[in-house]
Amino acid sequence: SSGRPAATGALERAMDELLHRAVPAMPAYELREKTPAPAENQCADFVSFYCSLAETTERAELLGRLARGFGVDHGQVAEQSAGVLQLRQQPREAAVLLQAEDRLRYALVPRYRSLFHHISKLDGGVRFLVQLRADLLEAQALKLVEGPHVREMNGVLKNMLSEWFSSGFLKLERVTWHSPCEVLQKISESEAVHPVKTWMDMKRRVGPYRRCYFFSHCSTPGEPLIVLHVALTSEISSSIQAIIVKECPLSETEEQNRITTAIFYSISLTQQGLQGVELGTFLIKRVVKELQKEFPHLGTFSSLSPIPGFTKWLLGLLKSKAKEHGRSELFTDSECKEISEITGGPVHETLKAFLSSSEWVKSERLVRALQAPLMRLCAWYLYGEKHRGYALNPVANFHLQNGAVMWRINWMADVSLRGITGSCSLMVNYRYFLDQTAANSTAYLGSKNIKASEQVLSLVAQFQKNSKL
């Protein structure tokens, strides 16, 4: 940042001044409980300064300075570590060792934690910290700020938020057409999976045969943190069209005995600052309990999930295969032949072009020809592609962590533009067998085993056979 203009230098000086003023000093260990809280306006200064920074880069700069300049005092940590080690060599009574460890523990608390702690006590303070962490995550994603100090600060914040947004303090709220417009507008705007188009569309999603729940924190009731949409059906849905239809009877009353299955068709975090705080898993569990109370005979629980990244992954594959000539490992010979006939060119090249747009779905023949190979490829993408041993696809990873089974891959399941271009119309069900989720979750997290249905395993096997993997 040496090349910055003078004005920026002024801003940076203002940042440093602010931080030295606002971040409370660490009292000596002995005085830690005898130090009055900093004046309210000391922390409020930080909040208003931060909010006055309109630019993402400026906020990132401030957060970087805070993380790097107001962390742990490494000298103190080393000194207390030495103290602990010495006691290890010259044992004394337990109280002495425990106190030495406590001093060390105290030395390991980064100084900015105290700032966050005091901000949390201000009116709207916790909400501010959620926003601050959202900014931090965005800045990291945009590489506006980097390094181990920032990662550490993110971790500290995440732990604090996890304590505050602990499940005991979350309130499950159901959304209906009687909920405040404010809430429905927020939910409508934050719907990330299947965007809401009109208010009637929204009314449908909170109407008969549908449920919409969210978690709020008990200190801010009515403010959605994470939202789950559920469809109540008589079988596991194989397409989103059946759930989000344009024209449908709004006043229809529910027949309880037609409802045997709950389909989780959308889950959206509305507060990005709460990423990693485990709200989703817990929300699904709570909603399952709620639904079982309302419908004692409801027995089948499954998601109908998007497969973000599939088309991108497939195009990458086609591109690399297009270079290597010779036998395709992605398609069988007869598939190659049929596709080439339809597209009028070499299978990899032409498909690459076709799948880049959504035009291909208009050709019935092509749709028919692609079904088998794309389902096979998709099964492999979900089941076989990994990141550090866990499923690469984030939605798959989420449901597998929760203990769901990879249940069924569905063709022509999302024919919206978004569905066609993002995942070639495919969607997948992750099914929750309630008596097995705990075991599945442990197996996946511990041994990285993915539990999948016959259909999925069979598709995976076909892929492997063909590609000689």
Q: Is 300 in the site for its own copies (CB under 8 A)?
A: no
Is the Cβ of residue 72 or residue 353 nearer to its own copies in the bound state?
72
Residue 305 known to be catalytic? yes
73 binds its own copies (CB under 8 A): no
Looking at the Cβ atoms of 217 and 451, the one nearer to its own copies is 217
Strand partners, 215: 172, 226
**Cβ-Cβ contacts under 8 Å for 153 (sequence gap 6 or more):** 63, 66, 67, 71, 110, 112, 136
Is 238 a binding residue for its own copies by CB under 8 A? The answer is no
Least separation in angstroms between CB 40 and its own copies:
9
Which one of the listed residues 305, 328, 358, 425 is annotated catalytic? Answer: 305
Span of 75-83, 303-311, 350-358, 420-428 interacting with its own copies by CB under 8 A: 75-83
Cα(324)–Cα(345) distance, integer angstroms:
16
Nearest to its own copies of 57, 442 (CB atom): 442
Compute the C-alpha angle 111/137/72, nearest 5°. 15
CB of 264 to its own copies, least distance (A): 20
Q: Is 399 a catalytic residue?
A: yes
CA dihedral over 202, 203, 204, 206, signed as positive or negative: positive
In this structure, the dihedral spanned by the alpha carbons of residues 122, 124, 129 and 130, taken in order and rounded to 10 degrees, is: 160
Quick one: which of 48, 57, 166, 234 contacts its own copies (CB under 8 A)? 166
Task: Please identify which residue in 56, 140, 179, 238 interacts with its own copies, judged by CB under 8 A.
Answer: 179
Answer yes or no whether residue 203 interacts with its own copies by CB under 8 A: yes
97 is a site residue for its own copies (CB under 8 A): yes
Residue whose C-alpha is closest to residue 377's, from 431, 329, 325, 324 = 329
The H-assigned helical ranges of 23-55 are 40-52
| CB 129 within 8 Å of CB 273 | yes
Q: Spell out a b/e string for 407-420, using b for 16 or more CB atoms within 10 Å of the CB, else e.
A: bbbbbbbbeeeebb
- Residue 147 binds to its own copies (criterion: CB under 8 A): yes
230 three-state secondary structure: strand
Residue among 182, 255, 324, 333 that touches its own copies (CB under 8 A): 182
Residue 168 found at the interface with its own copies (CB under 8 A): yes
Cα(first)–Cα(last) distance of the chain, in Å? 49
The binding track of 114-143 with respect to its own copies, each residue x by CB under 8 A or -, is: ------xxxx-xx-----------------
Structure-token pair, residue 250 = 């709004």
Catalytic residue among 194, 340, 399, 425: 399
Report the run of H or E that residue 82 belongs to, with start and end: helix 74-89
Task: Give one DSSP letter per residue of 417-463, joined into a string.
Answer: HHHHHHHTT-EEEEEE-TTTHHHHHHHHHHH-PPPB-HHHHHHHHHH
Closest distance to its own copies from the beta carbon of 120 (Å): 6
d(CA 440, CA 71): 39
Q: How far is the CB of 31 from its own copies (least distance, A)?
A: 8
d(CA 204, CA 369): 35
Which amino acid is residue 226, in one-letter code?
Answer: I
The 1-20 contact track toward its own copies, x by CB under 8 A, reads --------------------
Q: Select 263 or 391, whichever has its Cβ closest to its own copies.
A: 391
Q: Per rule CB under 8 A, is residue 178 in the interface with its own copies? A: yes
Return the residue of 29, 164, 411, 433 that touches its own copies, per CB under 8 A.
164
Residues carrying an active site annotation? 305, 399
Residues that bind its own copies (CB under 8 A): 34-36, 39, 71-72, 74, 77-78, 81-82, 84-85, 88, 94-95, 97-99, 101-102, 104-105, 108, 120-123, 125-126, 147-149, 151-152, 155, 160, 163-164, 166-169, 171, 177-182, 184-185, 199, 203, 217-219, 401, 438, 441-442, 445-446
